[in-house]
Structure 1
Amino acid sequence: MISVAMTTYNGEKYICEQIESILNQSMKVDEIIVCDDGSSDSTIELLKKYPVKVVQNDMNLGYRLNFKKAMELCSGDYIFLCDQDDIWLPNKVEEMMRMMKSHSNMHVLSSSFIYIDDKNQEIQMKVDKSRSNNNLYCRPVEKDSLYQVDFLDYLAMNYFQGCSLLLDKWIKDLVLEHYSTDIEHDYLINSIAASYSSMYFYNKPLFQYRLHENNSIGAQYDTQTKEEHLQRANTLKIRTQNAHNALNVLNIIRLANSDYYQENQEEFSHMSAFFYQHIQALENKKFFKLLCQNTSPYYSLIKTKKARVMDLLYVLKEKVIR
């Protein structure tokens, strides 16, 4: 049985296109569960035209808890996560199910995508040959190939949006058992699956991902100017975000995959100590402490060379301002 877990909030502008793209798949899904988070527009009325189950929240949960609720209500052996404003290509379900069923150790699969704007026009992105998945993933992956994602890749950030994911019931139940709102729902799913060596990326675009001003989460950097990106990056919150993410992920894995955590407990302990010290160095503007941290292999797990230079420049700038 195949389920779709969708969340909505004031999605009247695009919801019909998305629902119809799911219903017109070459391989049919068995149920579409929609959890609405208090829409005040015509989203609910539009959904009544389709064979979907709509659950309206009594109070606004926010997207992290709303996706949790949608997953809980899914009864399928396989669950696709779905946003309200994208468009699935006709073979998305068939292609991803084929991949999932042909790999017994695969519990989560992400596909690539095509950016579109609010008029369904494709948005072209400048390709970085050192990256993949529209430059979101930090490693190059050959087109149309399958790649197993390493757990350590997830320490700093998430690379695959929830709307790109297919997961099976085993990982869904495990994620729900250890659900945390400390990180995004897709980051949680992907990092737990990667710790079990069961997270894969299929570098083939199977849906259209819409960029518009009302995205609740998404690829913010891709629509920013260079100046806007630099201004946003030069804040303490952003400079410490990756280290906070890493600490949250390690704590989640300690509970969700205790065997893996125990096997790597000493290494994880050293990592945690480094990430704490890194946050403190940034908070306290310790230039030479940050400079010395560049000798640690753990720094490269959460930041690129360019980002490490920016840490130093951030501290220097803050010292001058003070």
Structure 2
Amino acid sequence: MISVAMTTYNGEKYIRKQIESILNQSMKVDEIIVCDDGSTDKTVEILKEYPVTVYQNEKNLGYRLNFKKAMSLCTHEYTFLCDQDDIWEPDKVKTMIEIMQENPNIHVLASSFEYIDSKDNLILMKQKKNFSNNNLYPRFVKSEALVSVGFDEYLPMNYFQGCSLVLDKWIKDLVLKNFDDRLPHDWRISMIASSYQGMFFFNKALFKYRLHDNNSIGVEYLTQSTSEHIQKANSANIRMQNSANALIVLEDIEKVNPAFYASREKEFKNLKQFLVQHNKNLENKNFFGLLKQNTSPFYKLIKTKKARIMDLIFALKK
């Protein structure tokens, strides 16, 4: 009934703790599929000590295509995505599977998590007002509440790491059939599920997410200095990122869920026009064009009030 799709690359330092945390779950998993992306350390050697199925890639695929391969090799009704260096809480599988079974409308379920460092020490986060999921999700969700995540929320960015997700076979097969690596795999999974009203978030920490220098995808702002953040925010590419992402999301969903797209076709076409013009305004530092766009409700879909103000400041800096 339960598969785990794990990808590895030079993960010898932490892989034992991750594997053992999966094997020691209160609800047992039926298979652990590991796709190794060309490790040169002892990762594969360590994995062979455990009851897991290891596939070694002939060439390096990168994390997006490697997760696609791992998911495609999973054979059961539910698939958990898994990194090589986290630690699962003992009831993670049981808790999430019970929620999925009690709510058949859920196709993808994300949980929250706790940060740990390289020595397993907790990294405490000060919770921002109106945020949850360690400030990654800009919405207040009560502790242990289960909430639906809407499609529009996924236009500018993703909020839940792949290692927080479990997905049913229907959505897994749909994602694999329409795989596109322009966006991270976890973003596409959640975004597609949300278009079918099947993406949910359970606000309880069910695993420990490790932060260290070798994360393939880290949470960058935690280790980024203020000056680095400001410098990046003042680049046109960064300021255009949300709108560029939203254009990809709209293009993807038109192919993957045409009925949903058709139900909002006029709105989505107008949104596309807004996004294209927005990028032009940023590229040309068109202050008055951006000021005019601030009257559009589309701007609020892709950026916070603070980000909209920063766009205007960016346009004034010649």
User: TM-score normalised to the size of structure 1?
Assistant: 0.98
- What residue is the counterpart of 2:31 in the other structure? 31
- What residue is the counterpart of 1:310 in the other structure? 310
Read off the aligned partner of 2:187 and give its amino acid letter.
Answer: Y
- What residue is the counterpart of 2:225 in the other structure? 225
Q: Where do 4+ consecutive residues of structure 1 move more than 6 Å?
A: none
- What residue is the counterpart of 1:136 in the other structure? 136
- Aligned residue for 1:214, secondary structure, equals coil
- What residue is the counterpart of 1:127 in the other structure? 127
Q: Is the 8 A contact 1:161 1:218 kept in 2?
A: no
Which whole-Å deviations, capped at 9, do the CAs of 1:72-121 have from their partners, x for residues lacking one? Answer: 00001000000001000000000000100000100000000000000100
Q: How many residues align?
A: 318
Q: In structure 1, how many angstroms separate the alpha carbons of the residues matched to 2:129 and 2:33?
A: 38
- What residue is the counterpart of 1:115 in the other structure? 115
- What residue is the counterpart of 1:66 in the other structure? 66
**Structure 2 residue 284 is the aligned partner of structure 1 residue 284:** yes
Structure 1 residue 223, shift from structure 2 partner: 2.2
In structure 2, runs of 5+ residues without a counterpart are none
Which whole-Å deviations, capped at 9, do the CAs of 1:236-277 have from their partners, x for residues lacking one? Answer: 221111001100111111011110001010000001110111
Structure 1 residue 224, shift from structure 2 partner: 1.9
Structure 1 residue 174, shift from structure 2 partner: 0.4
Structure 1 residue 296, shift from structure 2 partner: 0.6
Which whole-Å deviations, capped at 9, do the CAs of 1:164-217 have from their partners, x for residues lacking one? Answer: 000000000000111101100000000000000000000000000001111111
Q: In structure 1, how many angstroms separate the alpha carbons of the residues matched to 2:205 and 2:228?
A: 28
Q: In structure 2, how many angstroms separate the alpha carbons of the residues matched to 1:183 and 1:235?
A: 21
Which whole-Å deviations, capped at 9, do the CAs of 1:261-310 have from their partners, x for residues lacking one? Answer: 01010000001110111111111111111111100100010000100111
Q: In structure 2, how many angstroms separate the alpha carbons of the residues matched to 1:11 and 1:39?
A: 8
- What residue is the counterpart of 1:246 in the other structure? 246
Which whole-Å deviations, capped at 9, do the CAs of 1:2-29 have from their partners, x for residues lacking one? Answer: 0000000111110110000000000000
- What residue is the counterpart of 1:236 in the other structure? 236
- What residue is the counterpart of 2:178 in the other structure? 178
Structure 1 residue 313, shift from structure 2 partner: 1.3
Q: Is the 8 A contact 1:78 1:166 kept in 2?
A: yes
- What residue is the counterpart of 1:215 in the other structure? 215
Q: Is the 8 A contact 1:3 1:33 kept in 2?
A: yes
Structure 1 residue 219, shift from structure 2 partner: 1.3
Read off the aligned partner of 2:211 and give its amino acid letter.
Answer: L
Percent of paired sites with the same residue = 63
Q: Is the 8 A contact 1:38 1:59 kept in 2?
A: yes
Structure 1 residue 125, shift from structure 2 partner: 1.1
Q: In structure 2, how many angstroms separate the alpha carbons of the residues matched to 1:236 and 1:210?
A: 31
Q: In structure 2, how many angstroms separate the alpha carbons of the residues matched to 1:124 and 1:231?
A: 26
Which whole-Å deviations, capped at 9, do the CAs of 1:57-80 have from their partners, x for residues lacking one? Answer: 111110010000000000010000
- Aligned residue for 2:202, secondary structure, equals strand
Aligned CA RMSD, in angstroms, stands at 0.7
Q: Is the 8 A contact 1:10 1:40 kept in 2?
A: yes
- What residue is the counterpart of 1:105 in the other structure? 105
Structure 1 residue 226, shift from structure 2 partner: 2.2
Which whole-Å deviations, capped at 9, do the CAs of 1:15-67 have from their partners, x for residues lacking one? Answer: 11000000000000000000011111110101010000000111111001000
- What residue is the counterpart of 2:17 in the other structure? 17
- Aligned residue for 2:240, secondary structure, equals helix
Q: In structure 1, how many angstroms separate the alpha carbons of the residues matched to 2:140 and 2:226?
A: 23
Q: In structure 2, how many angstroms separate the alpha carbons of the residues matched to 1:247 and 1:265?
A: 14
Structure 1 residue 222, shift from structure 2 partner: 2.0
- After the TM superposition, which residues 194-213 of structure 1 pair with which residues of structure 2 at under 5 Å, given as runs? 194-213=194-213
